[in-house]
Amino acid sequence: ISSALLGLGNLSRLKQSPQTAIDYYQQAAKQAPRETIRVQAQLNLFALLIELQQRSTAKQLVAPLQQSLSNLPPSRATFDAQINFAQSLARLDSSSFEQSARLLSRVAQQAQNLRDQRIESYAYGTLAELYEQQQRWAEAQKLNERALTIVHRDRDLDIAY
């Protein structure tokens, strides 16, 4: 049921019905039997609240999301969720840059340790984007080059920057 509610939330969001999407995401998070679905519903809610400029409500989700993400086992889904969180967190306010950057660096390192080149490259590319938004061009360029080096090392990856 929670997966269906999550899907309905995503559909409502696409149909420009934000309050309906919020309701579905909250229901999905409450009813989720698995932590991964609950976290995904919370992440989608977090991103939507930021998009709707409801920053004070979104800020209330930061600590619970950090806790939930830290409890998930290392996996591609967990890394994707952490990258998603870092991206949303960076949009929350300018003071979140350092926290987002640390999280993305940690994800890249963990992915490297697990030899997941796709996630490692994605994390570095996302971190480069973050630095570009801060107009820190030299760091952004180094990170983009690192992401591209990883992609070129494994010709099977279908990632492009």
The model's pTM: 0.91
Q: What is the distance between the alpha carbons of residues 148 and 142, in angstroms, rounded to a whole number?
A: 10
Asked if residues 10 and 47 have their Cβ atoms less than 8 Å apart, the reply is no
pLDDT value for 36: 93
pLDDT value for 161: 53
Mean pLDDT of 134-160: 85
pLDDT over 90 percentage in the chain? 91
Residue range 44-67, pLDDT digits in tens: 999 999 999 999 999 999 999 999
Residue range 4-16, pLDDT digits in tens: 999 999 999 999 9
pLDDT value for 151: 85
Count the residues in the chain: 161
pLDDT value for 43: 98
Asked if residues 111 and 78 have their Cβ atoms less than 8 Å apart, the reply is no
